[in-house]
């Protein structure tokens, strides 16, 4: 009777190449009663069909590289998903904020109209800063990249002494004053005579 030992090189190679504990040749020699020199010889024999033209070390490096690539793809996918959810939440919050602001601005316009109908002056500056409205319009412009929002900024009106005046119709000096108001968040009345 023959005393031939059959070695399952596929299992040993797979353990070395794809094993999660990355076993050494010494470890493989203990796990699979095969001498370390024989394992090293098999692992470095690129002409052996089981090795597919690569050493076991090269195969392990390829496996690790592919594994890292897959993990990176999964991480990127999860990050994109998280960003999409975050953007959706921010858009929702932004929309709610603009709806609230729109409602408040409509109420201020109504109060201003009622005061005007009663022959009184309604100081909007006591309720809202022109600079805040300008900042909101600027943010809208940046978010949308849309020139119509920029035009909205130019259509903001100031009310010097009760007379509406479009920003595009202001003199250079008046624009400087308005720019100062916007920068400081204040609301000073612009004198038309200057």
Q: pLDDT, tens digit, for every residue of 67-95? A: 999 999 888 888 888 888 887 887 778 77
pTM attached to this predicted model: 0.45
Separation in Å, CA 126 to CA 108, 155, 170, 186, 194: 11, 21, 23, 10, 24
- pLDDT the model gives residue 178: 63
Q: Where are the domains of the chain?
A: 7-96, 123-194
Q: What six digits make up the tokens of 74?
A: 């999964």
More confident residue, 120 or 152: 120
User: Which carries the bigger pLDDT value, residue 31 or residue 128?
Assistant: 31
- What confidence score (pLDDT) does residue 11 get? 94
Average pLDDT estimate for 33-38? 94
In this predicted model, which residue has the larger pLDDT, 182 or 77?
Answer: 77
pLDDT tens by residue, 129-138: 767 777 776 7
Burial grade of 158 (CB within 10 A; 0-12, 13-18, 19 or more): buried
Query: 98 exposed, middle or buried (CB, 10 Å; 0-12, 13-18, 19+)?
Result: middle
Tell me what pLDDT residue 163 has: 57
pLDDT tens per residue, range 121-178: 888 778 777 677 777 767 766 666 555 544 444 444 555 444 566 555 666 776 676 6
């Amino acid at each position: 009777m023959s005393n031939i030992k059959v070695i399952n090189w596929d299992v040993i190679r797979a353990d070395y190449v794809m094993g999660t504990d990355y076993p050494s040749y010494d470890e493989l020699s203990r796990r699979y009663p095969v001498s370390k020199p024989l394992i090293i010889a098999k692992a470095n024999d690129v002409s052996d069909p089981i090795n597919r033209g690569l050493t076991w070390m090269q195969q392990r490096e390829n496996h690790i590289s592919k594994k890292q690539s897959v993990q990176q793809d999964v991480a990127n996918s999860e990050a994109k998903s998280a960003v999409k959810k975050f953007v959706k939440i921010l858009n929702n919050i932004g929309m709610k904020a603009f709806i609230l602001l729109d409602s408040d601005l409509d109420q201020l316009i109504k109060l201003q109209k009622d005061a005007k109908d009663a022959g009184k002056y309604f100081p909007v500056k006591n309720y809202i800063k022109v600079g805040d409205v300008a900042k909101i319009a600027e943010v809208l412009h940046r978010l949308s990249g849309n020139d119509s929002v920029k035009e909205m900024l130019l259509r903001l009106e100031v009310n010097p002494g009760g007379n509406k005046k479009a920003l595009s119709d202001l003199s250079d000096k008046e624009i400087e004053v308005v720019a100062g108001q916007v920068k400081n968040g204040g609301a000073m009345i612009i004198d038309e005579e200057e």
